[in-house]
Amino acid sequence: MLESVGSLTGSPWIYAAVAVSVVLDVFLPVLPSGVLVITAATAAAGSATGAVPHAVPDLLVLTLCAATASVLGDLVAFRLAWRGGERLDRAIARSRRLTQAQERLGDVLARGGGARGVLVVVARFAPAGRSVVSLGAGAAHRRVREFLPWSVLAGVAWAGYSVGLGYFGGQWLGATWLATGVSFGALFIAGAGAAYLVRKPAAREQGTGA
């Protein structure tokens, strides 16, 4: 039961924990920031039925907190990559995904409102996609005004989706670990679909080039 994590979800510190986790997972994608957001939202759903007796996070504040932290983490990674440095350049050169992103994202971001720019938002849901986008855009020396709108849209979409999964999962299945697990499974499926959509244009471009 989510009562076992009540000491965290029932405290204002949940917002700080979510913010730190979301900011850092741009550098360490293994951090379970999505799990934490979903768990907090599930606890909020449980309060409506009395399944969670302690105080729970406010859904709007939780969403804004996660979205803001997502954008902040993106901008930190973007700025670090934009400033560059030999160590960062070597790290990007060793990563095939980051190298491809550096080559492709300049065109994607420069197109602004085009459909290709939506890839930046879609990548937020893909495993490590946020890291690839933020570091790749910064290393390609794109302007902040080209990157920031997509980062904001991606952060709001991801935070809203994650909070929605946790809340409605808790409403339907109760404030249990089952609800959290099902919601996280839905987040994982969305991530797998996003990863496929992000890779698909690259595969098509390689086929055209061949």
pLDDT band with cut points at 50, 70 and 90 for residue 12: confident
The answer to whether the CB of 118 falls within 8 A of the CB of 109 is no
Mean pLDDT rounded to a whole number for the chain? 75
**Residue 56: left (phi > 0), alpha (psi -120 to 50), or beta?**
beta
Tell if the pTM clears 0.75, that is, is over it: yes
Q: Which of 10-24, 114-128, 192-206 has the lowest mean pLDDT?
A: 192-206
Measured CA to CA, the distance from residue 194 to residue 188 in angstroms comes to: 10
Measured CA to CA, the distance from residue 83 to residue 190 in angstroms comes to: 32
- Give burial (CB, 10 Å; 0-12/13-18/19+) of 199: middle
- Check pLDDT > 50 for residue 185: yes
Measured CA to CA, the distance from residue 155 to residue 69 in angstroms comes to: 8
Q: What pLDDT was estimated at residue 202? A: 47
The answer to whether the CB of 134 falls within 8 A of the CB of 77 is yes
Q: Which residues of 47-62 are buried (b: 16+ CB within 10 A; e: fewer)?
A: beeebbeeebbebeeb
Measured CA to CA, the distance from residue 186 to residue 176 in angstroms comes to: 16
pLDDT band with cut points at 50, 70 and 90 for residue 41: confident
pLDDT tens string 60-105: 999 999 999 999 999 999 998 888 766 666 766 676 666 666 666 6
- Check pLDDT > 60 for residue 130: yes
Q: What pLDDT was estimated at residue 174? A: 64
Measured CA to CA, the distance from residue 133 to residue 157 in angstroms comes to: 16
Q: What pLDDT was estimated at residue 199? A: 65
pLDDT band with cut points at 50, 70 and 90 for residue 210: very low
What single letter denotes the amino acid at residue 185? G
